Amino acid sequence: MKELELKYGCNPNQKPSKIYMAEGELPVTVLNGKPGYINFMDAFNSWQLVKELKEATGMPSAASFKHVSPAGAAVGKPLSDIDRAIYFVDKDAEITPIAAAYIRARGADRLCSYGDWAALSDVCDAATASYLKNEVSDGIIAPGYTDEALAILKTKKKGNYNVIQIDPDYVPKSQERREIFGVVFEQGHNFLKIDEEMLSNIVTDSKELPQAAKIDLIVALITLKYTQSNSVCYVKDGQTIGVGAGQQSRIHCTRLAGDKANNWWMRQHPKVLGLQFVDGIRRPDRDNAIDVYTSNEYEDVLAEGVWQESFKVKPEVLTEEEKKAWIAQMSEVSCGSDAFFPFGDNVERAFKSGVKYIAEPGGSIRDDNVIAACNSHGITMCFTGIRLFHH
């Protein structure tokens, strides 16, 4: 098939819309549903991310995309009991490596992953499909599906869930083009390979960079390669925990990603784990209740006549002192930036969210200030020498 008609473009008024190949056949097959323009933008960006992450780490990888940027990405490390609790995984559910990868990717930022596009580096199995069945999602791309998984996914959205299979051996042309306002842009496709060699130039006093941190920094950098710039990414234990995308200011990226990392960590606070939700509460409502409860707007969910909608028992307030004490326990977090940090304030903000390892291109006229900020906190920083802008 050389072309595929779409429902509409970015917006319903943008018709007609299609994807097509100037030469050869499309590398994708729609197994269910009718994906749209943005669906395919998410699908192709997310597929590249998970394919490269699998190649770089050797582990099954997954991503959760929204509006052409990852809400989360992860490799398939096993889930802990706390992971199962905060990601709403049944305690008896069988979790395969690829299922764990997607559960972690979606769990990075469950609010932003609402209505996501899922991407898997490996064949989608029944364990992954069974978890995805209960989440609000627009579609999925993977190199294949087991019969059982496909049958499960076809039950989503009244049978209209978008399921795309991609040829895992497909390689795009070396030059890529896009048309904006009637003008054609052309550039070389970004075939840049991200691996441990990119982390070899350590410029700080601390030279400590354990293997786990190398994997986390690779996760961060590959995630940034497919995140709308400017972008900063925090990673822990093989999964993103905060992605700051599309900000005009670098420090705003760092703050946004750090605040998301803090939110992820707050979900593990004993008071949050002990919340008693009403029976039958929907997952999105539960996610929203947790988000508000841990924020400065907690009164919006704890007010009389309101808390009963979400909780069996009115929760105790999570105080600012408790929040600060809990966040202070964050540690061993890695941070990547798609371009250099222009000032040391980015390091100072990252440190507040437990960052101990940083990878960024370097090249700022204030590199010495940034390095000094790392040294003052015992942070290990690598200069990759490579910018990762994506638009």
| Bond prior to 134 in cis (omega within 30° of 0) | no
Angle at which helix 250-266 crosses helix 345-352, to 10 degrees, equals: 0
Q: Is 66 a catalytic residue?
A: yes
Work out the angle at residue 110's Cα, subtended by the Cα atoms of residues 104 and 115, and round it to the nearest 5 degrees: 105
Q: How far apart are CA 337 and CA 110, in angstroms?
A: 22
- Quick one: tokens of 294? 């841990």
Catalytic: which of 91, 158, 207, 391? Answer: 391
The residue from 45, 230, 262, 263 that is catalytic is 230
Q: Which long-range contacts (CB under 8 A, 24 or more apart) does 248-252 make?
A: 250/337, 250/339, 250/341, 250/342, 250/346, 251/343, 251/345, 251/346, 251/349
Task: Clarify whether 269 is annotated catalytic.
Answer: no
Structure tokens at 125: 């199995």
Task: Identify the residue whose tokens are 């490269």.
Answer: 52
Handedness of CA 337, 339, 340, 346 (dihedral sign): negative
Of 51, 66, 156, 225, which one is the catalytic site residue?
66
Angle between helices 37-57 and 211-225 in degrees, nearest 10: 160
Contact criterion met (CB below 8 Å) for 139 and 271: no
Active site residue 7: no
Active-site annotation, residues: 66-67, 230, 391
